[in-house]
């Protein structure tokens, strides 16, 4: 049994988790509202026309005009959103004792993220505007195919090109953890390129694990914080959960589902966009000043589909939990692992049902533990 002191510490940690997650949700909602309001102002106030007119004297190239237009919008959004970003990703994390970064390390990471965002975003922006100009009303079809292929390519190269920009990856050392993981891999005939530890502790005390990559870049990654804080049995259960995602083909299903969502969203938003254009004096879909109208519809579609995507993600997580328990038959390690994850990551064990429905991609810790306590440990 827990001592009164331990129970008191647990209750205090639970209250901290509630407060931490309340603030994170509020910040997310405020950020969404600011983004949508900015798009609304650009789309329907005439400001986008003024901005395009200010750009045109400097270049006659439509692609450069569009990139400058997007850059100005992005810069304005970054300046407006910077206080929220700084508070949410630096001050708040330090306030609750989660961050291990200095201000200079945080700035360096933000700079790297900006660089990666530009490297990926510029080709996407050019392709988007190219299809608007060349294919007109059918832009959504060609751009959907482009985005789908781009996402597959990104999943392929991210583990070997992008992730190493932020973390150092080292092969797992020989020992109980490696032996347990290799045994699971052999039993399920899983093809991977390696098992790696990454130095998540450079930025946070949180812990994480997962499968990353597709094809030849497929690999297993475990944070150093996970390896240091969890027992081999707990890591085995957590890893088995990730194997569940692999064997249930959740990654492939997500890619295919994302493709369907992208196609349908772009199609519907494209129809609304063309219907709206004449009402604001626009003629062509590729008019730069008109594009914020399309961005507005895409933002609304993203808000509408987010709960549906999260619901499917929670279903996949429950499937992976069942697989992990059936594979390891270690109910105690699963529960203790969940408890540690909640404590280390400062997760809200029992969020409000509406908050969980709208914002959570994983079931709450309480639901996962309750399910584990009653689940039959039958083979998958």
Two structure tokens written together for 347:
């997760």
If you average pLDDT over every residue of the chain, what do you get? Answer: 89
Separation of alpha carbons 216 and 219, rounded Å: 8
Query: What pLDDT is stored for residue 10 in this prediction?
Result: 54
Separation of alpha carbons 113 and 36, rounded Å: 22
Two structure tokens written together for 220:
């297993």
Number of domains in the chain: 1
Q: With respect to residue 380, please indicate whether it lies within any of the assigned structural domains.
A: no
Task: Report residue 2: phi and psi, to 5°.
Answer: -75, 145
Please check the confidence at residue 32 and state whether its pLDDT lies above 70: yes
pLDDT band at 7 (very low <50, low <70, confident <90, very high): very low
Q: With respect to residue 379, please indicate whether it lies within any of the assigned structural domains.
A: no
- pLDDT tens digits for range 206-233: 988 887 877 777 788 889 999 898 988 8
pTM of the model: 0.87
Place of tokens 């944070």: 223
Q: With respect to residue 83, please indicate whether it lies within any of the assigned structural domains.
A: yes
Q: With respect to residue 18, please indicate whether it lies within any of the assigned structural domains.
A: yes
Please check the confidence at residue 247 and state whether its pLDDT lies above 90: no
Please check the confidence at residue 5 and state whether its pLDDT lies above 50: no
Full domain range(s) for residue 39: 4-374
Q: With respect to residue 368, please indicate whether it lies within any of the assigned structural domains.
A: yes
DSSP letters for 186-205: HHTT---S-EEEE-GGGTBS
Higher pLDDT pick, 368 / 379: 368
- pLDDT tens digits for range 326-361: 888 889 999 999 999 999 999 999 999 999 998 999
* Whether 348 contacts 364, CB under 8 Å: yes
Query: What pLDDT is stored for residue 266 in this prediction?
Result: 95
Considering the chain, what percentage of its residues have pLDDT values greater than 90?
65
Q: What is the mean pLDDT of residues 4-14?
A: 55
Question: If residue 123 lies in a helix (H) or strand (E), which one and from where to where?
Answer: helix 103-135
Residue in 258, 261, 265, 267 with CA at minimum distance from that of residue 141 = 267
Q: What is the mean pLDDT of residues 139-159?
A: 92
* Whether 235 contacts 333, CB under 8 Å: no
Task: Report residue 70: phi and psi, to 5°.
Answer: -65, -40
Q: With respect to residue 306, please indicate whether it lies within any of the assigned structural domains.
A: yes
């Amino acid at each position: 049994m827990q001592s009164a002191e331990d129970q008191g510490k647990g209750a205090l940690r639970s209250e901290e988790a509630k407060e931490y997650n309340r603030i994170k949700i509020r910040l997310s909602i405020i950020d969404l509202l600011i983004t949508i309001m900015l798009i609304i102002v650009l789309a329907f106030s005439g400001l986008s026309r003024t901005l395009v007119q200010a750009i045109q004297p400097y270049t006659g190239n439509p692609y450069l005009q569009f990139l400058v237009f997007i850059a100005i919008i992005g810069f304005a959004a970054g300046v407006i959103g910077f206080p929220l970003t700084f508070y949410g990703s630096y001050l708040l994390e330090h306030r609750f004792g989660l961050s291990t970064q200095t201000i200079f390390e945080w700035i360096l990471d933000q700079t790297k993220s900006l660089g990666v965002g530009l490297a990926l975003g510029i080709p996407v922006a050019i392709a988007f505007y190219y299809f608007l100009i060349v294919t007109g009303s059918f832009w959504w079809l060609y751009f959907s195919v482009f985005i789908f292929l781009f996402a597959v390519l990104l999943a392929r190269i991210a583990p070997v090109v992008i992730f190493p920009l932020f973390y150092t990856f080292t092969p797992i050392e020989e020992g109980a953890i490696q032996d347990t993981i290799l045994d699971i891999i052999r039993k399920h005939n899983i093809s991977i390129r390696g098992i790696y530890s990454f130095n998540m502790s450079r930025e946070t005390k949180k812990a994480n694990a997962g499968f990353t990559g597709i094809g030849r870049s497929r690999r297993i990654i475990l944070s150093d914080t996970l390896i240091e804080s969890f027992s081999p049995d707990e890591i085995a259960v957590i890893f088995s959960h990730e194997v569940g995602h692999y064997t249930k083909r959740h990654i492939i299903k997500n890619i295919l589902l994302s493709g369907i969502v992208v196609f349908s969203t772009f199609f519907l938003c494209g129809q609304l966009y063309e219907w709206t254009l004449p009402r604001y004096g626009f003629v062509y879909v590729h008019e730069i000043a008109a594009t914020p109208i399309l961005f507005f519809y895409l933002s609304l579609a993203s808000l509408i589909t987010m709960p549906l995507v999260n619901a499917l993600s929670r279903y996949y997580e429950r499937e992976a939990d069942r697989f992990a328990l059936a594979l390891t038959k270690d109910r105690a390690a699963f529960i203790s692992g969940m408890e540690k994850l909640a404590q280390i990551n400062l997760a809200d064990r029992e969020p409000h049902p509406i908050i969980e429905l709208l914002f959570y991609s994983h079931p709450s810790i309480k639901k996962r533990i309750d399910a584990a306590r009653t689940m039959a440990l039958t083979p998958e």
